[in-house]
Amino acid sequence: MGAYVYELNGSLYINLTNRCNNSCTFCIKFKNRMFEGLHELWLDREPSPEEVISSAGDASKYRHVVFCGYGEPLIRLEALKKVASFLKEKGAYVRIDTDGQANLFHGRNILPELKGLVDEINISLNAQDEKTYQKLCKSVYKEKAFKGILDFAKAAKEVIPKVILTAVELPGVDIEKCRGIAECIGADFKARPYYEENYRP
């Protein structure tokens, strides 16, 4: 069915879904279904929380356990909460990599539901303004997406211990402006190299 739990660089990754709010022009899932030549991340079906928990093993031995794969993990909020609760009971450090549009998707502020379950959240900002974001990321929420991400990041600061905004170093992306947005929110910032430059198909 594809890999829904996989190891990478000392961390354990959980791939809950291939569904996403975006169709990013730079996303590797549109280029290759095999990640790093090792992990088939395209799912035939979405795993149950019980399947993920069974496959996670001793999650406490990993540096991080990261909800990240070929889709937006917070689309499957209830499954994520169930798995994260189990992971925290086992002493794992839990991180979510997200497009920051979960509140738009669910129609409510879901962040209080993650309190105590998530240690770190990495939010893909990926642009300095609404127009650039939509050009690169092609959100289903169109003009609402960029503001939604900023609002999500601000709300995350209230409940998640570590909040990081990230941006991919792509033509048209002003990394320093993105960094400034993160600073205004009070979040950390990380610039990420365009993955395809180092991608092993």
Q: What is the domain partition of the chain in residue ranges? A: 5-198
pLDDT in tens, 146-200: 999 999 999 999 999 999 999 999 999 999 999 999 999 999 999 998 765 543 3
pLDDT in tens, 182-192: 999 999 999 99
pTM, 2 dp: 0.91
Count CB neighbours of 61 within 10 A. Answer: 11
pLDDT of residue 111: 98
Burial of 54 from C-beta contacts in 10 A (0-12 / 13-18 / 19+): exposed
**Rounded to 5°, angle at Cα 45 from 40 and 51:** 85
CATH superfamily membership of 5-198:
Aldolase class I (3.20.20.70)
Report, as an integer, the average pLDDT of 5-18. 91
Is the pLDDT at 2 greater than 90? The verdict is no
For residue 108 the two structure tokens come to 């409510």
Output 57 or 102, whichever has higher pLDDT.
Answer: 102
Is the pLDDT at 56 greater than 80? The verdict is yes
Is the pLDDT at 69 greater than 90? The verdict is no
The amino acid present at 164, given as its one-letter code, is: I
Are 65 and 11 spatial neighbours (Cβ–Cβ below 8 Å)?
Answer: yes
